[in-house]
Amino acid sequence: MRNIIWTKVLIFGIILLFFGTSIIPTPNGEKLLPDELLLNESLFYDKLDQNNSEYNSRAAIADSGCSAQSFKPTLNMLTRVELLVGSNSNNPQGNITISIRENLSSNDLTWITVPIKDIPAGIPMDIWTEFDFSDISVIPEQTYYIVSSYEPQNFPFVSVGWSYTGTPDHYTRGEHWVLGNQGWIKEDLGSNCDFNFKTYGYNATWFLFGFGIITVDGTIDYIWDFNSSWYNYFLCYNVSKVTVIGFGAYYPELNMRFYKNTLTNVTYLVGSILKRLEVSDEYQHLSIFATRNHPILFCMYQK
């Protein structure tokens, strides 16, 4: 009799799990973390991905305002770029913006703007300048564009140079572009030319746990709330072990299914819990119930 009761309870629980997962919202661009915590760079050690450093003492002067270089990443996160850029003025004014786009006419995926006076002076250039924008997720082997936008701010005599490599073609996974009166062109510098650049990134796996129980051996490193919510939102770094029993999906596939796994390579997890939490430097054992309104997001960093 007791076995029959427990069987009914188990079946009812499974039905509830399936019902819960049927209405789990999929990610729609909303950030589950505050901006300052979205990607903590101290957690992730990036590495060189794409590279065209064969500088042959020629420079493209961006008097037109914009230049671009396409590339194909092999890593799924893009963290920063380095460029061989410089100015030809002793007192440069204005700013330079380095951004990443999916195509030349689309909006910027990420960007950083720095004063021109902060980049090296002199042409030809021999000093790499780092542009450390906010990290973004990219699709390996898909084409992206590094776009350099020059803002002279009424100082037309200041030119910004971005060095490039001419024939033979040293970088075959992209092309150079220059913005002219007729739009973006790639013949301005001659055929088989590529700007000098380096991209950096890392690989990470994202897992959205939508409904079920997880147990965590880790530390509560950060706590915050939104609009005085009953839930305490938390962030755990450097988790040692996570066991999940319930429904989840890897992003971006979002193929929701049942998991009963122990994960040992979790870099951080973020979510909410209906209990009071305190920041602690010591490892502690937590049990967390995830629901469709309060899922748990995992990041697994791959070295």
CB 277 within 8 A of CB 223: yes
Considering the entire predicted model, what is its pTM? 0.74
> Exposed/middle/buried for 279, CB within 10 Å: 0-12, 13-18, 19+?
exposed
Q: In Å, how far are 24, 111, 267, 291, 301 from 101, measured between CA atoms?
A: 31, 9, 28, 35, 24
Distance (Å, rounded) from C-alpha 109 to C-alpha 136? 7
pLDDT at residue 299 is higher than 80: yes
Structure tokens at 86: 């410089």
What is the chain's alpha carbon radius of gyration, rounded to the nearest angstrom?
A: 25
179 domain residue, yes or no: yes
215 domain residue, yes or no: yes
Same domain, 59 and 27: no
Report the CATH number that the domain containing residue 122 is assigned in CATH. 2.60.120
Half-sphere exposure of 157 (CA within 13 A, CB side): 3
pLDDT at 108: 94
CB 79 within 8 A of CB 48: no
48 domain residue, yes or no: no
pLDDT at 158: 59
pLDDT at residue 95 is higher than 90: no
CB 52 within 8 A of CB 170: yes
Same domain, 68 and 189: yes
126 domain residue, yes or no: yes
Where is the domain boundary, 195, 219, 238? 195
239 domain residue, yes or no: yes
Same domain, 209 and 190: no
Same domain, 116 and 169: yes
Number of domains comprising the chain: 2
Same domain, 215 and 155: no
pLDDT tens, residue by residue, 101-136: 999 989 999 999 998 888 888 765 678 999 999 888
Same domain, 66 and 160: yes
Question: Of the spans 6-10, 35-39, 182-186, 276-280, which averages the highest pLDDT?
Answer: 182-186
- Region 233-240: mean pLDDT is 78
Same domain, 236 and 265: yes
> What is the band of 140 on the pLDDT scale with cuts at 50, 70, 90?
very high
- Region 208-214: mean pLDDT is 89
* Domain carrying residue 267: 2-43+203-302
Same domain, 186 and 80: yes
What residues pair up with 178 in beta bridges, in sequence order?
Answer: 67, 185
CB 254 within 8 A of CB 26: yes
286 domain residue, yes or no: yes
Same domain, 61 and 165: yes
Return the closest-CA partner of residue 229 out of 289, 291, 275, 279. 275
Same domain, 96 and 178: yes
Q: What's the mean pLDDT when you consider all of the chain?
A: 76
Distance (Å, rounded) from C-alpha 163 to C-alpha 197? 9
Q: What angle do CA 16, 259, 32 make, to 5 degrees?
A: 80
pLDDT at 110: 93
pLDDT at 190: 67
Same domain, 22 and 135: no
